[in-house]
Structure 1
Amino acid sequence: MTVTGALILVGALLLLLGAYCSWTAGRLDRLHHRVATARASLETELARRAALVVELAGSGVLDPASSLLLLDAAHRARTADCDERERAESALTRAIGATVTDVEPWATELGTATRRVQLARRFHNDIVGSARDLRRRRIVTWFHLAGHAPMPTTIELEDGS
């Protein structure tokens, strides 16, 4: 093999490596965007559930103690900071389970809202898992393809599942 042939081969390999790194970085960027979108969707579903709980608590169909318990849990879930959010949402789930059993049509609506929260959380956590798996690959860490993006984290809360 001549020097020219070797340079062409090295150039082709570098071109292939660059193309693969570019494709991987693009995929990682899309996954990070999907994580952010899934997180926003989960936040929306949690807010809808809390609003439905507040509406139920103010409707007068529950006893006053149950209404206060639900209002307090919904308020704490809505106003919790990032560190306390999962714990507050889990407490709201437990409060819903403890107070609402068969109050129609609220039980159906809350059941639907709870299922939507479950699905949104699972979808979010699946995407986070995919992003984390890709970020753990050697080529991503060696070439810093994730940039300065923080490592995505899963959401662990009791959601009635």
Structure 2
Amino acid sequence: MGPDWLLDVLLWAAGLFLLGLYVSWRATRLDRLHVRVETARAALDAALVRRAAVALELAASRVLDPATSLVLATAAHEARTADADGREFAESDLSRALRAVVDQPDFRAMLASRGDGTALLDELEAAAQKVAFARRFYNDAVAATRIARRKLLVRMIPLAGRAPVPDFFEIDDAAPRF
């Protein structure tokens, strides 16, 4: 036995070490992607709750007629209290209700004539934009995580563990014309 077996052992050890480093790097990356999805989901939930709160505030502000206030308050309440299965539908309903209210002719002028309504509308506009940005950021994080989970190594060695595959959050978040 010459030095050939020692070289073979060293090459195998180096190969296994590099493979271990790669697997560790992949697992760490996948974990970071899952953390990013959870963080983005929390930000999205906060933006959705804020939008619903501003919509409820607008409905209670006595700026709108009673029927419009009731429709907007009901949609905002449903969005805040919906369970996980019905959340996307409730949030889409709130978006449609907001568009129906805000897209009325001369709505901004009517709010301006009634005092602090314009500030409330500006707050609603900011909340609607935050929802759109948060949803886009969350869906981007989900897409990156799903791509990483489809890799052969991740599927062969279950690097994702028991973490569920994240789902996209699809709602009608088109903002009203402010």
| 2:82 is the alignment partner of 1:77 | no
- Aligned positions, number: 161
In 2, distance between residues paired with 1:146 and 1:14? 21
Partner of 1:118: 132
**TM superposition shift of 1:107:** 2.6
**Between Structure 1 and Structure 2, whose CA radius of gyration is higher?**
2
Supply the distance in 1 between the matched residues of 2:102 and 2:172 (Cα, whole angstroms). 16
How far is 1:143 from its partner?
Answer: 1.1
CA distance in 2, matches of 1:130, 1:76: 31
Give the one of 105, 115, 140 matched to 2:154.
140
Summarize the alignment of residues 29-40 of structure 1 with structure 2, pairs less than 5 Å apart.
29-40=31-42
**2:19 aligned with 1:13, yes or no?**
no
2:43 is aligned with 1:49:
no
Look up the SS of the partner of 1:158 in the other structure.
coil
1:92 counterpart (84, 91, 94): 94
Q: Deviations over 1:51-87 (max 9, x none)?
A: 0011110010001111000010011111111000000
* Overall identity of the aligned pairs, in %: 51
Match of 2:62 in 1: 60
Q: Which runs of 5+ in 2 are unaligned?
A: 112-117
Q: Which segments of 5 or more consecutive residues in structure 1 lack a partner in the other structure?
A: none
CA distance in 2, matches of 1:148, 1:23: 18
Counterpart for residue 127 of structure 1: 141
Aligned to 2:167: 153
Q: TM-score, normalised by structure 1?
A: 0.96
Partner Cα distance (1:106, 1:95) in 2: 16
Deviation string for 1:31-59 (max 9, x for gaps)? 10110000000000000000001111001
Quote the RMSD (CA, aligned, Å).
1.2
Matched, 1:27 2:29: yes
Equivalent AA in structure 1 for residue 14 of structure 2: A
Greater Cα shift, 113-122 or 2-11: 2-11
Q: Which residue type is aligned with residue 29 of structure 1? A: D
